[in-house]
């Protein structure tokens, strides 16, 4: 498993986290290439379906980032995301999937460095868990 490169899908909110990730890029910071970013308008837009579908399509981990609590562009989208995140974690656990495969964190528009560190930490966390079996199990009905 030494060469395992996890695939991580990241849903970043338009107003803070995506801008934060952008800052990491424009500041030429280096971070793990395993993160595949999808921009959403708000972390509150991240439906549990997105997370499940990511795993089903072969992601090894899912990262969700939104504005810091109290800073949401839409006032409380990130709180809704937090509550959904708790449900998804519980559901994944009940389905035999390690809840460490998903992570929610807050990244502001100025936190490019923090985003780069988070990306590295998340990659490391998922790499430790190894490849996610969801896709292969789902495609082989027995």
CB of 39 to other proteins, least distance (A): 20
3-class secondary structure, 108: coil
Q: Residue 26 or 140: which CB sits closer to other proteins?
A: 140
- At residue 111, what are phi and psi to the nearest 5 degrees? -100, 55
| Chain positions contacting other proteins, by CB under 8 A | 47-49, 52-53, 55-56, 69, 76, 79-80, 82-84, 86-88, 90-91, 94-97, 133-134, 137-138, 141-142
Please state, in angstroms and rounded to a whole number, the distance separating the CA atoms of residues 116 and 67. Answer: 16
**Contact status, residue 3 vs residue 10, Cβ threshold 8 Å:** no
CB of 132 to other proteins, least distance (A): 9
Q: Residue 12 or 92: which CB sits closer to other proteins?
A: 92
Q: Residue 92 or 107: which CB sits closer to other proteins?
A: 92
Please state, in angstroms and rounded to a whole number, the distance separating the CA atoms of residues 116 and 108. Answer: 12
CB of 83 to other proteins, least distance (A): 4
Q: Residue 76 or 124: which CB sits closer to other proteins?
A: 76
Secondary structure E strands in the chain? 8-13, 35-40, 61-66, 102-106
CB of 10 to other proteins, least distance (A): 19
Which DSSP symbol is given to 95?
T
Please state, in angstroms and rounded to a whole number, the distance separating the CA atoms of residues 126 and 121. Answer: 9
CB of 81 to other proteins, least distance (A): 9
């Amino acid at each position: 498993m030494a060469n395992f490169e996890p695939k991580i899908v990241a849903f970043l909110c338009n107003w803070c986290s995506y801008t934060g990730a952008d800052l990491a890029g424009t500041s030429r910071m280096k971070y793990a290439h395993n993160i595949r970013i999808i921009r959403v308008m708000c972390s509150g837009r991240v439906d549990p379906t997105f997370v499940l579908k990511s795993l089903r399509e072969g992601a090894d981990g899912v990262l969700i980032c939104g504005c810091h609590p109290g800073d949401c562009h839409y006032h409380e989208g990130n709180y809704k995301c937090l509550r959904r995140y708790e449900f998804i974690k519980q559901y994944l656990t009940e389905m035999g999937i390690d809840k460490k495969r998903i992570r929610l964190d807050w990244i502001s528009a100025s936190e490019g460095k923090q985003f780069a560190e988070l990306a590295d930490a998340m990659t490391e966390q998922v790499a430790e868990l190894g490849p996610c079996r969801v896709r292969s199990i789902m495609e082989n009905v027995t």
